[in-house]
Structure 1
């Protein structure tokens, strides 16, 4: 008797057509989530959740990644036991041209102001 290989864990994501501006803006309104998105924007590849050094508990980190995934800002896939995260830049740029870049520039400017304060 052979057993079927275990099915891969698949996380639900909105399709491009299901991504809504209000959900994206809500997801990006939190400083921790904006930091995650900024790090993903700077990365050349998907990053595992453990790669992020965030000032919150593990359960809160999980919540932030879920909000980003469910809003359509990031794509999450399992690679072995690691949950890999990638920015859905192509989808976001197609739906809301210039929005992501403008938010990332604004976030970096604010971080620079905060560092000098």
Structure 2
């Protein structure tokens, strides 16, 4: 199971790299820029979708508790990392660090 998780994580990283390379080639933009911003925004989008589904579940539980006086206990939101989200997070972090290294001379001038 561990080997499958690593392969899936690496597959997500490769897939994101190919997609962002295609987008940067299509529009003629720098791959470093698209990679850093795209990786961060894609991970943020997945985070917000997960958070939204959690909030909808909490609202449904609140309605059930109000009408039937029985509902599951609400648990605090926790973002669990599966292999896909781990790959997305690693890609975003590495691409952001690479962007900082590439544009470092602009920061010190």
What's the TM-score once normalised by structure 1's chain length? 0.31
Higher relative contact order (CA 8 A, sep 6+): 2
By percentage of residues, which structure has more strand?
1
By percentage of residues, which structure has more helix?
2
